[in-house]
Amino acid sequence: MKLKQLPETAIPGGHYRIEPYENWLLHDAVGAEPHDEPHPIYGFIVAQSGLGISVAELLELFGSHAEDGPMLGECTIDYHRPLVTGAEYSVRGAVTSAERKTGRTLGTFDVVTLQQHVSSDAGQPVVTTTSTFLLPRKETR
């Protein structure tokens, strides 16, 4: 996949349900007191995990692999409606930009921005996330 083709690439999209026990485990994993309402970081998790492809497959789409040391550079989460446990959410996403850069720390790397839209089963917007990934490249293409 060429870098300039990434913004034209379709991502399948999928579904995600926040199970109450996963919400409990998530709270514990980030050191927070368990809470019935989903932890607000689920805005990111639902968008990522419900995208219809795994993180590994997403990185592969970007021409990267976990072993390359990919990093999350920036993230914006817009909350339109409260997230609830047990509800089924639909997720769709698209790459909005992709460019190559060079820096002192990472050397040559790609900056890929992904926007994801989370909707309720009634089609109402719930969360929008915009994530920027930094993908180190050992070689230029």
**In angstroms, what is the minimal distance from the CB of 98 to another protein?**
19
Length of the chain: 141
> Would you tell me which residues interact with another protein (CB under 8 A)?
22, 25-26, 28-32, 35, 39-41, 44-45, 48-49, 54-56, 66-67, 69-79, 82
Instruction: Extract the tokens encoding 101.
Output: 């850069």
Choose between 31 and 123: whose C-beta lies nearer to another protein: 31
**In angstroms, what is the minimal distance from the CB of 121 to another protein?**
22
What's the CA gap between 58 and 21, in Å, rounded?
26
Choose between 2 and 33: whose C-beta lies nearer to another protein: 33
Tracing tokens 């009634």 back to the chain, one arrives at 122
**In angstroms, what is the minimal distance from the CB of 4 to another protein?**
25
Please, are residues 90 and 13 in contact by the beta-carbon 8 Å criterion?
yes
Return the number of other C-beta atoms located less than 10 Å from residue 49's C-beta.
18
